[in-house]
Amino acid sequence: MSFIENLPPEVLEKAWQIMEKNRKEAMSKKLGRPVLDWGGKRKGPRNMIYKTKVELSLNAVQKRILAEMGEGSIDKGIEKLINEAM
């Protein structure tokens, strides 16, 4: 049986806060800067996704050909056609 089981929760929480404070102070001293509750937002490039809307007027034959190229999907057929052209 350990002595921790007999301690009230308030004492355990206070001990945890003291341990956490000591840990942060040690890290601050080691890093040479303050260590806060969380690291914050990551610096650097974001996920750059460009979205462009295009409106096309297609006849039935063009739609059928694009659907065949995209295995049933006109959107995938357009992507495949653009990739082939590049």
Over the stretch 43-55, which tens digit does the pLDDT of each residue have? Answer: 666 666 777 788 8
Cβ within 8 Å of residue 44, ≥6 positions away: none
Over the stretch 6-40, which tens digit does the pLDDT of each residue have? Answer: 788 888 899 989 999 999 899 889 988 888 777 56
CB 80 within 8 A of CB 69: yes
Dihedral angle computed from the Cα positions of residues 54, 60, 62 and 67, in that order, rounded to the nearest 10 degrees? 90
Over the stretch 62-74, which tens digit does the pLDDT of each residue have? Answer: 999 999 999 999 9
The helix (H) or strand (E) run that includes residue 30 is: helix 9-31
Cβ within 8 Å of residue 2, ≥6 positions away: none
